[in-house]
Amino acid sequence: MKKKVLCALLSAAMAVTLLTGCGSGEKAETPAASTTEAPAEAEAPADNGSGTADGDTAETPAADANAESTGGGLIGVAMPTKDLQRWNQDGSNMEAQLKAAGYEVDLQYASNDIATQVSQVENMISNGCQLLVIASINADSLGTVLAQAKDAGIPVIAYDRLLLNSDAVSYYATFDNYMIGTKQGEYIRDALDLDNAQGPFNLEIFTGDPGDNNARFFYGGAMDVLNPYIEAGKLVVQSGSVDFEKVATAGWATETAQSRMDAIIASYYADGLKLDAVLCSNDSTALGVTNALSAAYTGEWPIITGQDCDIANVKNMIAGKQSMSIFKDTRMLATQVVKMVDAIMKGGEAPVNDTTSYDNGTGVIPSYLCEPVFADANNYKELLIDSGYYTEADLQ
């Protein structure tokens, strides 16, 4: 089976001790259609199956080194879009923490346009960035510009989305994406009491963009939990859409998820059939599902999962329209990436805690996986407000 890893990461930005840990959870060997990277409950620090422990390092190209040993140098940070709240938070957290560590930052958002992101990264290279942190729009779209970075001796950290089919990628930093899916699946399992209740229960599935490598891990983790109940007939997907390709949502778009949910309601639930749960891989898809249900569904409200704790979705949790959302504290991830940047820029090796799970097509990329937790109506104040992530006013 898979092994679990949990490491402790102390973050000055965190007021809640629950959120100070980063670590890897269970890993799938490959992101397959129905088994991939998912959230199993992390219990105790353990060997991660890679022969490395927390803080272990892997070799990487050293940054060009006009960077002073005390810090300094120009870091390029490429983010995919400002259209989703989480990327705004990722970018601003990264920029603030890098600047606090003594670095100059070139932060760019690409408006979900691949050509724009390619151009932005090219400009970062030509403008003298000494290290690149890239959250890609499409995992397989930056090969040419990444080759330019490699030729220039510039290390690359893939941020939250693994960059595929390029040997220019030095490291990967993310949350444990398989664990995220597992936690979503476990939430549905426990809320419906699938191990004891008679059922059957009706389930529909919405995952993310097929070009985002993480989407398969979220899906795979959740389906590793839920598939046995589907196969046993205790969970029934009335629409018949179970395979990843059928439940993927292009661009993670709220409107796309809403349109598909509108069609599902009209075809299968318009006559009063109860919908018990909707597996949504993130908050933008969950928002689309919620919008469709609010407009056309007259039955008892289903369990709805999500990810990112976007403000609109936390408000829906408080109102009882979304059951949970995976909380990925972007301050925590930014803190870890800054540590990785600092180590590389000072001529060393970045800390990693996983060297087995993420093969980008050219080999396994040394990775650091932070552990996610889930928020719901019972604990959101502790996780989101007491920690300073949001204020009470943000959620009014």
Q: What is the pLDDT of residues 168-210, one digit of tens each?
A: 999 999 999 999 999 999 999 999 999 999 999 999 999 999 9
Question: What is the distance of C-alpha 172 from the center of its chain?
Answer: 12
Report the pLDDT value the prediction gives residue 71, as an integer from 0 to 100: 58
Fold for 177-327, please state it. Rossmann fold (3.40.50)
Identify the top-confidence range among 40-54, 129-143, 274-288, 322-336. 274-288
Q: What mean pLDDT comes out for the span 129-148?
A: 94
User: CA-to-CA distance for 205 and 295, rounded, in angstroms?
Assistant: 19
Report the pLDDT value the prediction gives residue 29, as an integer from 0 to 100: 36
Fold for 64-175+330-348+355-369, please state it. Rossmann fold (3.40.50)
Encode pLDDT of 337-392 as tens digits. Answer: 999 999 999 999 999 999 999 999 999 999 999 999 999 999 999 999 999 999 99
Confidence label for 60 from pLDDT (cuts 50, 70 and 90): very low
Q: What mean pLDDT comes out for the span 218-235?
A: 98
Give whole-number Cα distances, 215 to 13, 193, 199, 372, in Å: 28, 26, 28, 15
Q: Which residues are registered as beta bridge partners of 174?
A: 369
Higher pLDDT, 227 or 93: 227
Q: Please provide the average confidence, as pLDDT, over all residues in the chain.
A: 85
Residue partners of 115: CB distance under 8 A and separation at least 6: none
Give whole-number Cα distances, 304 to 109, 215, 350, in Å: 30, 17, 37
Q: Which tokens go with 126?
A: 């030509």
Q: Which residues are registered as beta bridge partners of 277?
A: 203, 303
User: CA-to-CA distance for 47 and 29, rounded, in angstroms?
Assistant: 16
Asked if residues 278 and 206 have their Cβ atoms less than 8 Å apart, the reply is: yes
Residue partners of 384: CB distance under 8 A and separation at least 6: 309, 314, 327, 375, 390, 395
Asked if residues 80 and 134 have their Cβ atoms less than 8 Å apart, the reply is: no
- % of the chain beyond a pLDDT of 90: 76
Q: Is the pLDDT of residue 146 over 90?
A: yes
Give whole-number Cα distances, 338 to 8, 99, 113, 177, 343, in Å: 16, 10, 26, 20, 8
pTM: 0.75
Q: Is the pLDDT of residue 272 over 50?
A: yes
Q: Which tokens go with 304?
A: 């709805």
Q: Which residue has the tokens 């959120």?
A: 19
Confidence label for 55 from pLDDT (cuts 50, 70 and 90): very low
Kindly report, as residue ranges, where domains of CATH 3.40.50.2300 are found in the chain: 64-175+330-348+355-369, 177-327
Confidence label for 211 from pLDDT (cuts 50, 70 and 90): confident
